[in-house]
Amino acid sequence: MFWDQKIETIERTALEALQLMRLQATVSRVACKVPRYQQKLADCGTKPSDIRSLADVQRLPFTSNSDLRDAYPAGLLAIAPDEVLRLHTSSGTTGKPKALFFSANDVNNAAELVARCLVMTGVTRRDVLQNMMTYGLFTGALVMHYGAEKVGCLVIPAGPGNSEKQLLLMQDFRTTIVHVTPSYALYLADFMEKKGVDPRKDLALRKAFVGAEPYTEETRRKIEEALGIDVYNSYGMSEMNGPGVAFECEHKCGMHLWEDNYLLEIVDPQTGKPLPDGQTGELVLTTLCREAMPLLRYRTRDITSIIPGPCPCGRTHRRLHRITGRTDDMLIVRGVNIYPQQIERVLMSLPSVGRNYQIVLEGLDEMTINVELAEAGFDGHVEHLTRLQSEITDRLRAEILTKPKVHLVPPGTLPVSEGKAKRVIDSRSL
Ligand SMILES: [Zn+2]
418 — pLDDT class (breaks 50, 70, 90): low
Residue length of the chain:
430
Give the span between the Cα atoms of 15 and 317, in whole angstroms.
9
At 211 the pLDDT is: 85
- Cα(170) to ligand 1 centroid in Å equals 29
pLDDT of residue 415 exceeding 90:
no
- Cα(244) to ligand 1 centroid in Å equals 15
| Residues 123, 152 contacting (CB under 8 angstroms) | no
pLDDT per residue as tens digits for the range 364-405? 888 999 999 998 767 778 898 999 999 999 999 998 888 999
- Cα(313) to ligand 1 centroid in Å equals 4
Cα torsion angle, 74, 63, 299, 55, sign: positive
pLDDT of residue 341 exceeding 70:
yes
| pTM score of the predicted model | 0.84
pLDDT per residue as tens digits for the range 203-228? 999 999 998 877 889 999 999 999 99
91 — pLDDT class (breaks 50, 70, 90): low
The more confidently predicted of residues 379 and 267 is 267
Stretch 11-32: mean pLDDT: 98
- Cα(249) to ligand 1 centroid in Å equals 5
- Cα(234) to ligand 1 centroid in Å equals 13
- Cα(311) to ligand 1 centroid in Å equals 5
Distance from chain centroid for Cα 394: 30
- Cα(314) to ligand 1 centroid in Å equals 6
The secondary structure of 277-328, three-state, reads CCCCEEEEEEECCCCCCCCCCEEEEEEECEECCCCCCCCCCCEECCCCEECC
93 — pLDDT class (breaks 50, 70, 90): very low
Q: SS3 of 245, please?
A: strand
Stretch 284-303: mean pLDDT: 97
At 305 the pLDDT is: 94
- Cα(219) to ligand 1 centroid in Å equals 22
- Cα(319) to ligand 1 centroid in Å equals 8
pLDDT per residue as tens digits for the range 31-77? 999 999 999 999 999 999 999 999 999 999 999 988 998 999 999 99
Mean pLDDT across the chain: 93
Give the span between the Cα atoms of 405 and 104, in whole angstroms.
53
- Cα(229) to ligand 1 centroid in Å equals 19
- Cα(256) to ligand 1 centroid in Å equals 7
